[in-house]
Amino acid sequence: MKKVEAIIKPFKLDDVREALSEIGITGMTATEVKGFGRQKGHTELYRGAEYVVDFLPKVKLEVVVKEDDLERCMETITNAARTGKIGDGKIFVSSVERVVRIRTGETDADAI
């Protein structure tokens, strides 16, 4: 099993969720986060004063999938989240040792 963490632009969340649902991936967690990469923030004007916005709003999407579904999941997220502009985000993949569904006690792939 693999955990896929995707940092995406907030307005792309619904597109990514719908695309993942279409390929059969329904369980996911979305968290509002702030961060920056090469984008490095930008300058804004508020009441005549300029200030730098270092951390930009993003959404972190977490999905646990069977290893067989990993490539399709990553491709789907990439295609749905891409705008072609800087700040589209990143995908991180890590291994998951165990999963337990609390309600039923099911474990690992059965619990996904």
pLDDT at site 103: 93
27 conformational bin, left if phi > 0, alpha if psi -120 to 50, beta if neither: beta
pLDDT at site 54: 72
pLDDT at site 95: 97
pLDDT at site 40: 63
pLDDT at site 42: 61
In order of their start, the domains of the chain are 2-110 (3.30.70.120)
Q: Tens digit of pLDDT per residue, the chain (112 long)? A: 999 999 999 999 999 999 999 999 989 999 999 887 776 666 666 677 766 667 788 999 999 999 999 999 999 999 999 999 888 999 999 999 999 999 999 998 888 8
What's the whole-model pTM score? 0.84
Q: How far apart are CA 101 and CA 87, in angstroms?
A: 35
